Amino acid sequence: MIEILKQLSDAGGISGFEFVLAPKVEELLRPYCDEVTRDQCGNVIGWVHCGETDAPTVMIESHMDGIGLMVKNITDRGFLTFVPIGGIDPRILPASEVVVYGKKELFGVIGAKPPHLQSQEDAKKAPKISDMAIDVGMSAEEVKQIVSVGDMVYFKTEAVSLPCGKGFSGKYLDDRAGIVSLLICLERLKGHKLPFHLAVLCAVQEEVGLRGAKMGAHSIFPSAALVVDVCHGNTPDSGAESVFAPGSGTVLSLGPNIHPKMAEIAKRAAEEKGIQFSLDVDGGNTGTDAWAVQVARTGIATLLLSIPLRYMHTTVETLSFDDVTATGDLLAETLIHLKGEEFSSCI
Which positions are annotated as active-site residues? Answer: 206
Helices (H), the chain: 2-10, 22-29, 120-123, 140-144, 173-188, 211-220, 260-273, 289-294, 321-337, 340-344
Say if strands 197-203 and 57-63 run parallel, antiparallel, or are unpaired. parallel
How many residues would you count in the chain? 347
CA-closest candidate to residue 17, choices 198, 205, 169: 205
Q: Per the omega criterion (within 30 degrees of 0), is the bond before 282 cis?
A: no
Lay out the sheet containing 197-203: strands in order across: 35-38, 44-48, 197-203, 57-63, 224-232, 301-309, 250-254, 277-281
DSSP sequence for 279-316: EEE-SS--SSHHHHHHTSTT--EEEEEEEEEBSTTSTT
166-175: string of b/e by CB count within 10 Å (b at 16+)? bbbbbbbbbb
